[in-house]
Amino acid sequence: MQHNTVLSSKDNVNIKRYQKLAASKRERYADGLFVLEGVRLVQDALLEQAQLECLMVTESALEKYPAFLAQADLREVRLLVISNELGAKIAQTEQPQGVFALCRMPRQEDYQPVLYRGGHFLMLHQLQDPGNLGMILRTADALGIDGVFLCGCCDVYSPKVIRATMGSVFRVPLWQEPDTDRLLCRMQAAGVHTYAAVIDPDARELRSCDFNGSAAVMIGNEGSGIPAQLADACDTRLTIRMQGHINSLNAAMAAGIILWELQGGQV
């Protein structure tokens, strides 16, 4: 693989751009780009035909991952080689591999036709923990969910969320819809039965819900859950019955249990 001179200056325009995109949501959405770090993430991006604008590897990574770099070369991704010291400076992981990339955000298509085709969906309302969001997307990927809607959540393209998805961000159909009321109206118009996951003994027990048709479940904010008016706007309020003195679960854990039931306990 051909490459240019090794970059070693922290003031290099490519390095500064990477750091700005890693640090700022505003910069990410202004440029339509987000950052990737690590062989696994970049490899998943290549496998799923994500649009990589630039690949940066350290001198040691250049020697360590020849097969992976050949794969990037076949896609004609622009390669920059940076010094090991510079790689350590821009890394955000505990054990950096010296592989970094700039990836273009996928174009968001209109989701209304998808709803009319039916399926099982997840609505996430104002989730703010990057680890929770990433884990939920991994679970949705594992269980074959037809789409996830993000309504006022933390930035799915932040480095923390991207790392937590372990590549699932490239495989799960995603839509960002800030207007949750509009999303519910569109779902109901398309015949998608909507469920609100709540902590309420009077709500319907999860295992008694019939998910045979087209369905979507809403998971709320980690601290405050789903606002009452949104829960009431859903067709059915569901809950996970718990034993002992436990009255709530971590959002990602609750989502995992619900998604398993939503998919009929089958992968």
How far is the C-alpha of 229 from the C-alpha of 207, rounded, in Å? 24
- Please state the pTM of the whole predicted model: 0.91
pLDDT tens for the chain, residues 1 to 267: 455 588 888 889 999 999 999 999 999 999 999 999 999 999 999 999 999 999 999 999 999 998 888 888 777 888 999 999 999 999 998 889 999 999 999 998 899 999 999 999 999 999 999 999 999 999 999 999 999 999 999 999 999 999 999 999 999 999 999 999 999 999 999 999 999 999 888 889 998 898 989 999 999 998 889 999 999 999 999 998 887 666 677 899 999 999 999 987 544
Please name the residue that has the structure tokens 């970049």. 42
CB-based contacts of 45, cutoff 8 Å, min separation 6: 36, 52, 101, 103, 167, 170
How far is the C-alpha of 1 from the C-alpha of 77, rounded, in Å? 11
Ordered DSSP codes for 94-140: SS--SEEEEEEPPPPPPSHHHHHH--EEEEEES---HHHHHHHHHHH
Please name the residue that has the structure tokens 């930035």. 155
Give, in order, the Cα–Cα distances in Å from 205 to each of 97, 195, 220.
46, 11, 17
Secondary structure letter of residue 207 according to DSSP = G
Q: What are the backbone angles phi and psi of residue 220, rounded to the nearest 5°?
A: -95, 180
Q: What is the pLDDT of residue 267?
A: 45
Q: How far from the centroid of its chain's Cα atoms is residue 110's Cα?
A: 18
Helix, coil or strand: residue 188: helix
At 70, list the tokens.
């050949």
Q: Rounded to the nearest 10 degrees, how much is the dihedral formed by the CA atoms of 37, 39, 41, 47?
A: 140
How far is the C-alpha of 222 from the C-alpha of 226, rounded, in Å? 9
Q: How far from the centroid of its chain's Cα atoms is residue 151's Cα?
A: 13
Q: What is the pLDDT of residue 245?
A: 67
